[in-house]
Amino acid sequence: MRKICSFTQTYSDERAELFEYRDKDLSDISFRNQFDSTFYAFHNSSEPYIAQLLGGRYFEQIKNLETIRYQEISYPESFRRSLELIAKNNYDYVIFLQDDCLTLQDIDQELIDFIKHEDFDMLNLETTPRDLNVSREPIYADNNFTVTDTKSSDFANRNLYAFDDGAYAARVSFLLDVLYDDNYYKQANVWNGEVYLEHKIRRSPIQRLTTNKNYYRRYNILGRNAHDRSKHLVTLKERFR
């Protein structure tokens, strides 16, 4: 039987606003609860802040929650330790979701079934073939759910990152043996790490399967990338009333 977990990492003591929307993201909660565990890492967060978040509605509804704490190490190094922990606990697949990644629509049971039973290296959960201007026939179909054999080069051809921190489900061994490497773990921060992987994957394309639906989106309302905060807040408030 395949063993699957989800993984998210948050940081600092200044991300609580996101959980006002996470509390209402019942689709995300239900999705995570379909799998064996949810690993949630706190990076450079204080214990009172962690306790505040863990006492909220979101975490109260997450089943089989495993929390991790990191202090005074880089994000790439903390991610290495998390991946190794997931592998040590014999998880075959991991669903990676950034802390600002919330659902755009309800999660189909067909997606859950695909992750649980089909063989693949990586499945993107944010982008569709239409977004990539790809019209090839799907390799998998179940009711109104389809999967298309897209690659990182399809993203690059649309002037998107060949690889970024968008939501995905992936084989743990693929992440450890192919995608992330020692040079990534040595990067100073998450932004440098993302740039490093972008260049690496442009040179060596990987599988990035896509579905016909945009299930998740990163809402940049906090931190360094909050350039479109006002616009993203409109979408969040419409989605999570």
What confidence category does residue 1 fall into, taking pLDDT thresholds of 50, 70 and 90? confident
The gap between the terminal CA atoms of the chain, to the nearest Å, is 38
Q: Which of 92-96, 151-155, 198-202, 219-223 comes out lowest in average pLDDT?
A: 219-223
> Which pLDDT tens digit goes with each residue over 4-49?
999 999 999 999 999 999 999 999 999 999 999 999 999 999 999 9
Task: Supply 45's token pair.
Answer: 């967060």
Q: Where are the domains of the chain?
A: 4-239
Percent of the chain clearing pLDDT 90 (strictly above):
96
Instruction: Report the pLDDT averaged over residues 76-99.
Output: 98
- The predicted structure's pLDDT at residue 161: 96
- The predicted structure's pLDDT at residue 225: 79
The architecture of the domain spanning 4-239 is: Alpha-Beta Complex (3.90)
Phi and psi, residue 75, nearest 5°: -60, -50
Give 12-52 as a DSSP string.
Answer: SS--HHHHHHHTT-HHHHHHHTTSSEEEEEEES--HHHHHH
> Which pLDDT tens digit goes with each residue over 118-146?
999 999 999 999 999 999 999 999 999 99
> Which pLDDT tens digit goes with each residue over 148-204?
999 999 999 999 999 999 999 999 999 999 999 999 999 999 999 999 999 999 999
- The predicted structure's pLDDT at residue 223: 82
